[in-house]
Amino acid sequence: MVIISINYAIAKCTGHSQFAPIATWVFNIAVLFANDWFSGYHYSALHPALKFMDDLSGLHPRWYINFNISMLRLIAFNMDYYWAYRRTGTQDRGADLNYKERTSTYHPTEMYNYWNYVAFVLYPPLYLAGPIMSFNDFLWQLRRPTHIPLRGVLNYLFRFVVCILTLEFVLHFMYVIAIKDRQAWQGDSAADIGFIGFWNLVIIWLKLLVPWRFFRLWALADGIDPPENMIRCVANNYSVFGFWRSWHRSYNLWIVRYIYVPLGGTQNVLFTTILIFTFVALWHDLSFKLLAWGWLISLFFIPELSARYLLPQSKYGDKWWYRHVCAIGAVGNMLMLVSANLVGFAVGTEGMSFMLSRMFSDWDGIRFIPILYETLYKTMADIHALDIKGDIVIPSSPGFEQAIARKSGTSVLRAGYVITPATVADIPPAIEFALSRLPPLEIAVKGGGCHSSTNSSTQGGLVIDLSKLKAVEVKDDKEWGKVVAVQGGCIWRDVYEKLKPLDLIVVGGNVSFVGVGGFTTGGGYSSLSAELGLAIDNLVEAEVVLADGSVVRCSEKQEPDLFWAIRGGGNQFGIVTEFVFKAHPARGPAITGTLVYPATDQQGQLAPAALDNVLKALHEFLPTQGTNSWLNLVFGRAPTSPYLPAVMIFPYIDGKDGTTALAEKALKPLLDAMPPYIPAQLETKATFYDVSRAPEVFLDHAPPRYAVGAASFGDLNDMIVREVFNEWVKYSDQEETRGTMVMFEFGKKGKIDSVAPTATAFPLREPHYYSVITARHGRHTNPEHDRSARDWVSSVCGIIKKHNQEKLCTPANFALGPEYESQEEVYGVNLTRLRKLKAKYDPKKVWRRGWIIEPEA
Ligand SMILES: Cc1cc2nc3c(=O)[nH]c(=O)nc-3n(C[C@H](O)[C@H](O)[C@H](O)COP(=O)(O)OP(=O)(O)OC[C@H]3O[C@@H](n4cnc5c(N)ncnc54)[C@H](O)[C@@H]3O)c2cc1C
């Protein structure tokens, strides 16, 4: 407690001064040496009369051995406090944070108090051996507890028991430790000794895995989720970097945050690596032997570092030979690591020299070398197919449920792998990996995860989740003026946040959490479309990863066929990793809000007159509608008992002239014709960005499962609206379906329809309006109701389509799912050309989620 308190005092006294990190490190390293030197200190050293106190050694007499772990926490606290004081890191946005954010987001400085600090340092589950976590992470989990499902903890417990039993099994039936200890390998071949060494290593790995898993399990059961150690088996590591990253992973994360990054990170890799290993060796044990081991290990990094420097993945990662070069290097690394560990931890120098002599003494020994190399090479080439910087999650991984989650529970399928590329270069190996399995894995691509179908998910296949590809960059273009390059994993909020301070907008989603990827490849309607066209009409260039793993750029001039196909062809031609949109000067202020007209009379009986009045006002308003407005006619129920049905109008009217005067003028006829029963809840929003965030409060609390479908229609037809209204009133009368809504969208025809239906792959260019039907099972999370919800949405769409003389199609963004709409309905007049282009860009149908386009024979 004395050491802990002094460390705290150092943090508080040095505050944000540059001296703080130096004082912290000097103190902690000095304590490390002093602990060792004085063997944990003795009372008798203070006074011989106190010797009796030394005999009362307590539960944990050699406490100073574990102090090494505590020391990491002491440094973590001081450094996190220092950075919080200097506001270095991320500011709290009030949302739930993931592991990385929990570490880099600082707390208010008053939270770095003594009691939180002591709780962190002495937290029982992690006190003895870790896993190690940062103070910021620990405190975030106390302040905003992470949801750790009981099922996940039980699963972890089960796997832990299996690990112990595996260790027991190996120790019982494979006497490799006894053979090693007795050096009983006389007469064995080189291969035999190789296996003895290998299994010794596996046992060491398992031996360490068990306590780490135990302590983490304890923390998980207590509601704290620390980082996992040993995320990769020792036999599944081919990179020296990868080996260290995944072995004592939580320690590695600690080193990266508190040593590697502050010392300059990639700027001085070799220097920091040597320094880190010096620290690691001394931290483990203050002996020269380990120090020498640490320096030797640092040298092992040199071949890998050189290879990375000469053949960077960013430049050559998509070349066919890259994987094989990596595999050759990986075998070299592997042999180096295995030999070092065999000497250090398994068979020792005697075993190694015996093995070498056996390798070269007879034909069997000599044959062993190429066989070993060949076997390792094949394995490495296979593993390297998934050598990516991003994350790989499988069903048994801790974050699996989160990785397969979608905005609506109806879209979830249980994938075999979820890969989250950190860079575009991660995508080709992921595709290659999926296709090299037998049978090949189905690939699904997830952008913002908003579509209510299962198109971005796969049952047992591989999901490529683009959520880490989030860069947004504004550029000047000679031809287009200001353009915005948006990576394929962005949601619209990412784009608007970047553009807002620059007074720019793009044609994007009306709701900010909708993904750019699905939205744009499906056409992309916005309240701005009447004036500026669809999102695809503003797309000037894109980068696409094709089915064969090649990365190509396309525009009207470069690969025009591909550029045509991704503008409306959905997910059928490749993964769009970058969209370049034309930017426009910001619009606004705009008037938005809700006009509510109860659909019942004073006695609560349905009053058709209310709907009639609204329709009448709409008929008057629509001919005068300008390109600055977008209007939604919505059926929804009141949120409180008796949940009366209501007819609502959600207007979006842009001032355009920089004031709200124009918007107010545009809205006036509607208000005059029919004043709302409830005072109009209209607000002025400064920008389109603010408008797009408005529905979030409502939608973020939307029920977890919903089905969305749509149908388009040529003109406002009262008969259709009334029929749909009656169906909706009947259906939404139950507790679980009360959240069901119907929305008819009215935007001025003009800019969208001015483009020919065949100019892009998006076919719906005839004058039209949209209806969007959302069925919700409010209080139920039961997947068994998904089908009935979708069926109902489909039946209501059917009512509209039945009256639809123009036979308008339903493009991918608003369609329910491939079980409901045909390819003809989704791709319309463009299906024939799309089939030709499918044969060109994806003849083997690698992209086969959603409305699959059959390649032309
Ligand atoms: C609340 C809400 C409001 C909406 N408002 C509008 C609106 O105003 N206008 C409109 O047009 N639509 C709107 N939509 C529909 C929306 O555009 C679609 O659901 C769209 O598919 C969402 O894209 P996503 O990336 O979030 O979807 P996801 O579910 O991730 O993906 C949907 C499909 O797109 C594919 N995909 C995603 N990203 C990429 C990529 N980068 N490259 C290739 N394929 C990709 C997926 O493979 C999948 O097939 C809305 C949806 C919701 C839920």
| pLDDT tens readout for residues 292-339 | 666 666 677 778 778 878 888 767 766 767 767 777 777 777 677 667
Which of 407, 454, 514 is the best mutation target for the ligand 1 pocket, counting ligand atoms within 8 Å of the beta carbon and taking the most? 514
Position 212 pLDDT exceeds 60: yes
Residues 616-622 have a mean pLDDT of 87
Q: Whose CA is nearest to atom 49 of ligand 1?
A: 455
Residue 588 burial (C-beta neighbours within 10 Å; 0-12, 13-18, 19+): buried
Backbone angles phi, psi at 489, to 5 degrees: -100, 5
**pLDDT recorded at residue 781:** 63
CA atoms of 814 and 568, how far apart (whole Å) = 12
732 CA distance to ligand 1 middle (Å): 26
Q: Which of 838, 833, 836, 840 is nearest to 852 (CA)?
A: 838
Kindly state if the Cβ of 567 falls inside 6 Å of ligand 1.
no
C-beta of residue 564 within 8 angstroms of C-beta of residue 531: no
Percent of the chain with pLDDT over 70: 90
Q: Which atom of ligand 1 is nearest to the CA of 517?
A: 38
Position 609 pLDDT exceeds 90: no
Other beta carbons less than 10 A from residue 702's beta carbon: 15
Q: Whose CA is nearest to atom 35 of ligand 1?
A: 518
Which of 451, 538, 562 is the best mutation target for the ligand 1 pocket, counting ligand atoms within 8 Å of the beta carbon and taking the most? 451
C-beta of residue 81 within 8 angstroms of C-beta of residue 136: no
- Please, what is the average pLDDT of the chain? 85
**pLDDT recorded at residue 254:** 93
- The answer to which of 367-381, 443-457, 464-478, 637-651 has the lowest mean pLDDT is 367-381
- DSSP 8-class letter at 600: B
Kindly state if the Cβ of 447 falls inside 6 Å of ligand 1.
yes
- The answer to which of 420-434, 569-583, 765-779 has the lowest mean pLDDT is 765-779
236 compared with 726, residue with greater pLDDT: 726
**pLDDT recorded at residue 196:** 79
SS3 397: coil
Q: Provide the pLDDT confidence category of residue 723 given band limits of 50, 70 and 90.
A: very high
C-beta of residue 247 within 8 angstroms of C-beta of residue 204: no
pLDDT tens profile 702-719: 557 888 999 988 888 898
Highest CATH level, class, for 391-465? alpha beta
Position 380 pLDDT exceeds 70: no
Paired with 90 in beta bridges are 105
C-beta of residue 808 within 8 angstroms of C-beta of residue 768: yes
CA 814 to chain centre: 24
Which of 406, 407, 450, 770 is the best mutation target for the ligand 1 pocket, counting ligand atoms within 8 Å of the beta carbon and taking the most? 450
SS3 367: helix
Paired with 465 in beta bridges are 446
Other beta carbons less than 10 A from residue 610's beta carbon: 19
Tokens of 255: 């080193």
**pLDDT recorded at residue 760:** 97
Q: Which of 710, 715, 726 is nearest to 810 (CA)?
A: 710
- The answer to which of 176-180, 351-355, 520-524 has the lowest mean pLDDT is 351-355
pLDDT tens profile 813-826: 999 999 999 999 99
Q: Which atom of ligand 1 is nearest to the CA of 699?
A: 1
CA atoms of 567 and 761, how far apart (whole Å) = 5
Kindly state if the Cβ of 538 falls inside 6 Å of ligand 1.
no
Does the domain formed by 590-822 have CATH 3.30.70.890?
A: no
**pLDDT recorded at residue 379:** 63
Q: Whose CA is nearest to atom 1 of ligand 1?
A: 511
273 compared with 554, residue with greater pLDDT: 554
Q: Which of 395, 411, 475, 410 is nearest to 447 (CA)?
A: 411
CA atoms of 218 and 157, how far apart (whole Å) = 9
Paired with 654 in beta bridges are 590
- The answer to which of 393-397, 559-563, 839-843 has the lowest mean pLDDT is 393-397
Q: Provide the pLDDT confidence category of residue 686 given band limits of 50, 70 and 90.
A: confident
Q: Which of 85, 732, 783, 82 is nearest to 411 (CA)?
A: 783
Q: Which of 100, 185, 637, 633 is nearest to 391 (CA)?
A: 100
CA atoms of 282 and 291, how far apart (whole Å) = 6
Question: What letters, b where the CB count within 10 A reaches 16 and e where it falls short, cover 270-279?
Answer: eebbbbbbee
Residue with tokens 């409010």: 778
**pLDDT recorded at residue 701:** 57
Kindly state if the Cβ of 521 falls inside 6 Å of ligand 1.
yes
Percent of the chain with pLDDT over 90: 42
Tokens of 230: 């040993």
Q: Provide the pLDDT confidence category of residue 362 given band limits of 50, 70 and 90.
A: confident
Residues 729-757 have a mean pLDDT of 89
**pLDDT recorded at residue 286:** 65
Residues 181-190 have a mean pLDDT of 78
Question: What letters, b where the CB count within 10 A reaches 16 and e where it falls short, cover 356-385?
Answer: eebbeeeeebeebeeebeeebbebbbebbb
452 CA distance to ligand 1 middle (Å): 9
345 compared with 39, residue with greater pLDDT: 39
**pLDDT recorded at residue 293:** 65
SS3 839: helix
Annotated catalytic residue: which of 42, 60, 147, 284? Answer: 284
**pLDDT recorded at residue 552:** 95
419 CA distance to ligand 1 middle (Å): 19
449 CA distance to ligand 1 middle (Å): 7
Kindly state if the Cβ of 35 falls inside 6 Å of ligand 1.
no
pLDDT tens profile 27-82: 999 998 888 888 778 888 888 888 888 787 777 777 777 788 899 999 999 999 99
Q: Which of 422, 700, 434 is nearest to 577 (CA)?
A: 422
Domain boundaries, the chain: 2-143, 150-384, 391-465, 472-586, 590-822
CA atoms of 510 and 54, how far apart (whole Å) = 71
C-beta of residue 709 within 8 angstroms of C-beta of residue 816: yes
Query: What's the CATH number for 472-586?
Result: 3.30.465.10
Position 679 pLDDT exceeds 80: no
426 CA distance to ligand 1 middle (Å): 22
**pLDDT recorded at residue 660:** 76
Handedness of CA 444, 446, 449, 450 (dihedral sign): negative
Kindly state if the Cβ of 709 falls inside 6 Å of ligand 1.
no
**pLDDT recorded at residue 543:** 97
21 CA distance to ligand 1 middle (Å): 47
Tokens of 107: 């707390």
**pLDDT recorded at residue 291:** 62
**pLDDT recorded at residue 27:** 94
C-beta of residue 415 within 8 angstroms of C-beta of residue 430: no
**pLDDT recorded at residue 308:** 79
pLDDT tens profile 124-163: 999 888 799 999 999 999 998 887 888 889 999 999 999 9
**pLDDT recorded at residue 807:** 76
Q: Which of 174, 160, 167, 255 is nearest to 205 (CA)?
A: 167
- The answer to which of 145-159, 186-200, 751-765 has the lowest mean pLDDT is 186-200
**pLDDT recorded at residue 398:** 76
**pLDDT recorded at residue 812:** 92
Our answer to whether residue 147 is catalytic in this structure is: no
Tokens of 195: 């296996």
Kindly state if the Cβ of 510 falls inside 6 Å of ligand 1.
yes
C-beta of residue 406 within 8 angstroms of C-beta of residue 412: yes
Q: Which of 352, 360, 312, 317 is nearest to 336 (CA)?
A: 352
Q: Provide the pLDDT confidence category of residue 802 given band limits of 50, 70 and 90.
A: confident
Handedness of CA 422, 425, 428, 432 (dihedral sign): negative
SS3 741: strand
Q: Which of 679, 599, 686 is nearest to 647 (CA)?
A: 599
Kindly state if the Cβ of 519 falls inside 6 Å of ligand 1.
yes
CA atoms of 372 and 542, how far apart (whole Å) = 45
**pLDDT recorded at residue 833:** 98
CA atoms of 391 and 417, how far apart (whole Å) = 10
Tokens of 17: 């001064």
**pLDDT recorded at residue 417:** 93
Residues 209-217 have a mean pLDDT of 94
Q: Whose CA is nearest to atom 39 of ligand 1?
A: 517
Kindly state if the Cβ of 455 falls inside 6 Å of ligand 1.
yes
Q: Provide the pLDDT confidence category of residue 383 given band limits of 50, 70 and 90.
A: low
Position 675 pLDDT exceeds 70: no
**pLDDT recorded at residue 678:** 65
Q: What are the angstrom distances between the C-alpha of 107 and each of 73, 101, 137, 450?
A: 17, 12, 10, 31
pLDDT tens profile 543-575: 999 999 999 999 999 999 999 999 999 999 999
C-beta of residue 352 within 8 angstroms of C-beta of residue 339: yes
Q: Provide the pLDDT confidence category of residue 444 given band limits of 50, 70 and 90.
A: very high
Q: Whose CA is nearest to atom 9 of ligand 1?
A: 525
